[in-house]
């Protein structure tokens, strides 16, 4: 326990945090939410997941087909806001899927994609009339080399939202090979 407190003290000292109580940090795992100095920060996206295949056109998030002809890809989308948000493709024809998803605050979702284009609006989850610029609400990356089993092709949201690791685990459980 003494080594854990010493490690926590070291982290606090490096980061210049003056008003921390060591008793409130019982172990190093709980200290992981503290901001780390540059150069030692945790990766924003997992290995192999790259910031490509999308663009922000205020206020929309556009997810586009891969120019290299890659048919099926997987996007990890992170809600970076402190509130739940709704992503909805409002350009879809009346009787086709609208690809709507509510992503809880600071959670991740996975979106499988094999279409030409999806245009998402971002809004508050409780009031979809309250739209805002997607660029200020989400961060995302694409596994453009993911391998999908034949039965999992298509454009759809994977069911669960959660932490980055939980979202990746769900994709793997569905047989999607996340490779880079």
Give the SS3 label for residue 162: strand
Task: Assess if residue 107 is contained within a domain.
Answer: yes
Task: Assess if residue 46 is contained within a domain.
Answer: no
66 lies in the same domain as 17: no
The DSSP code for 89 is E
Task: Assess if residue 25 is contained within a domain.
Answer: yes
pTM: 0.73
Give the SS3 label for residue 70: coil
Burial label for 49, CB within 10 Å (0-12, 13-18, 19+), is buried
| Overall average pLDDT of the 7-20 stretch | 31
Distance in angstroms (rounded) separating the CA atoms of residues 145 and 163: 22
Are the C-beta atoms of residues 61 and 54 closer than 8 Å to each other?
yes
Task: Assess if residue 86 is contained within a domain.
Answer: yes
Task: Assess if residue 80 is contained within a domain.
Answer: yes
22 lies in the same domain as 72: no
Give the pLDDT confidence of 121-180 residue by residue, as tens digits: 999 998 878 889 999 999 999 998 899 998 889 899 998 899 999 999 999 999 999 976
Smallest Cα–Cα separation from 99: which of 56, 55, 61, 132?
61
Parent domain of 130: 54-173
Task: Assess if residue 10 is contained within a domain.
Answer: yes
Please give the pLDDT value at position 144. Answer: 86
158 lies in the same domain as 108: yes
* Domains contained in the chain, number: 2
Task: Assess if residue 40 is contained within a domain.
Answer: no
Please give the pLDDT value at position 159. Answer: 84
Task: Assess if residue 129 is contained within a domain.
Answer: yes
Give the pLDDT confidence of 20-44 residue by residue, as tens digits: 322 332 333 333 333 334 444 566 8
72 lies in the same domain as 103: yes
68 lies in the same domain as 12: no
pLDDT of 52 higher than 60: yes
100 lies in the same domain as 150: yes
């Amino acid at each position: 326990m003494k080594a854990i407190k010493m490690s926590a003290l070291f982290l606090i000292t490096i980061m210049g945090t003056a008003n921390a109580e060591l008793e409130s940090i019982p172990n190093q795992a709980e200290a992981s939410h503290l901001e780390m100095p540059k150069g030692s920060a945790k990766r924003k996206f997992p290995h192999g997941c790259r910031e490509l295949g999308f663009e922000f056109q205020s206020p929309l998030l556009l997810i586009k087909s891969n120019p290299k002809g890659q048919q099926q890809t997987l996007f990890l989308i992170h809600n970076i806001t402190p509130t739940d948000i709704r992503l909805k493709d409002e350009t879809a024809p009346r009787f086709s899927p609208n690809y709507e998803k509510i992503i809880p605050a600071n959670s991740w979702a996975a979106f499988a994609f094999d279409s030409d284009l999806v245009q998402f609006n971002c809004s508050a989850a409780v009031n979809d009339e309250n739209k805002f610029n997607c660029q200020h609400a989400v961060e995302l990356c694409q596994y453009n080399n993911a391998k999908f089993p034949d039965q999992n092709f298509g454009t759809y949201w994977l069911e669960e939202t959660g932490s980055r690791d939980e979202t990746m685990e769900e994709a793997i459980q569905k047989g999607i090979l996340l490779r880079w």
